[in-house]
Amino acid sequence: MLRQLKQRYRAPIHGAVASAVILLMVAQEVVGFHTPYKPEKSRHFDVTKSETFVPVTDKVFDLHYADGSHLKGFNGIDQVWLGDYKCTAPFGVITDCNSPDFNGVDGILGFGLPKAGQEGRELPHPILFAMTDQENKNSNARDLTRKFSFFSTDTDAEVQLGGYDPATTVGEMWYTPCLSQNDFIVGVTSVRFGHKFEGSTELIQFADSEDQPYLPAIMD
């Protein structure tokens, strides 16, 4: 059984992960990175310590990214805890990784959107959707709103489930529409480089400024 004991409503994401993708065993010679991936620096999921883990080895994933990193593994099902919320949910079990981004990391807390097509059938259902699935009788979070917010510094991070706590923010909360049903994609109209707005350099140059164009960008 995977478990995190955290505050109610808030679930900090440092420490042992109970979520979408976890490390089981790893490693390959790192190609393209100055810093190697060091699996001994991460805590791996030990399937022998869980009485409820069910491997789903017919569902595998092999993900490659633009920076040359890749994640490979299979799906599994177990009891997942996020703060006081718990459910039986699927997650990815990484068996091969080459990215130094995982040094000292136990896994990925995945709050993405469900993927369509073959990719969606191979990847585990995102944890927030699994927890709030009305058909998931092994969840106490079925009535939780499918919203989340997160805060992050160099040393700590916090996830808030069901929305956001106004007491943790300053000023007005601004919203922007999502342009996709499968990814968190937003329209970017301006990217500026500089310490202050005055004197900064605009990096996006549109051919027709009157058309109010935008570039779709993935929030990642």
User: Are 46 and 108 within one domain?
Assistant: yes
| CB distance 177 to 189 below 8 Å | no
User: With bands split at pLDDT 50, 70 and 90, how would you rate the model's confidence at 116?
Assistant: confident
List b or e across 118-131, with b for residues whose CB sees 16 or more CB atoms inside 10 angstroms: eeeebbbbbbbebb
In a domain, 151, yes or no: no
| CB distance 214 to 187 below 8 Å | yes
Number of domains in the chain: 2
Question: Cα–Cα distance between 125 and 89 in angstroms, integer?
Answer: 8
163-192: pLDDT as tens digits:
999 998 899 988 889 999 888 999 998 899
In a domain, 179, yes or no: no
CA distances (Å), 66 to each of 23, 70, 179, 183, in order? 21, 9, 22, 17
Residue 205's nearest CA partner among 192, 216, 194 is 192
Least confident of 46-50, 90-94, 113-117, 141-145: 113-117
User: Are 139 and 31 within one domain?
Assistant: yes
User: Are 103 and 27 within one domain?
Assistant: yes
User: Are 111 and 207 within one domain?
Assistant: no
List b or e across 186-196, with b for residues whose CB sees 16 or more CB atoms inside 10 angstroms: beeeeeeeeee
Q: Which 8-state DSSP code applies to residue 42?
A: S
Give residue 14's pLDDT.
Answer: 35
What's the CATH code of the domain at 92?
2.40.70.10
Q: What is the greatest pairwise CA distance in the chain? A: 62
| CB distance 42 to 103 below 8 Å | yes
In this predicted structure, the answer to whether residue 124 has a pLDDT above a threshold of 50 is yes
- Find the domain containing 194 and state its range: 185-218
Angle, CA of 39, 153 and 62, to the nearest 5° = 40
User: Are 25 and 126 within one domain?
Assistant: yes
User: Are 141 and 189 within one domain?
Assistant: no
User: Are 54 and 108 within one domain?
Assistant: yes
User: Are 67 and 137 within one domain?
Assistant: yes
User: Are 191 and 97 within one domain?
Assistant: no
Q: Could you tell me whether strands 70-82 and 85-97 are parallel, antiparallel, or unpaired per DSSP bridges?
A: antiparallel
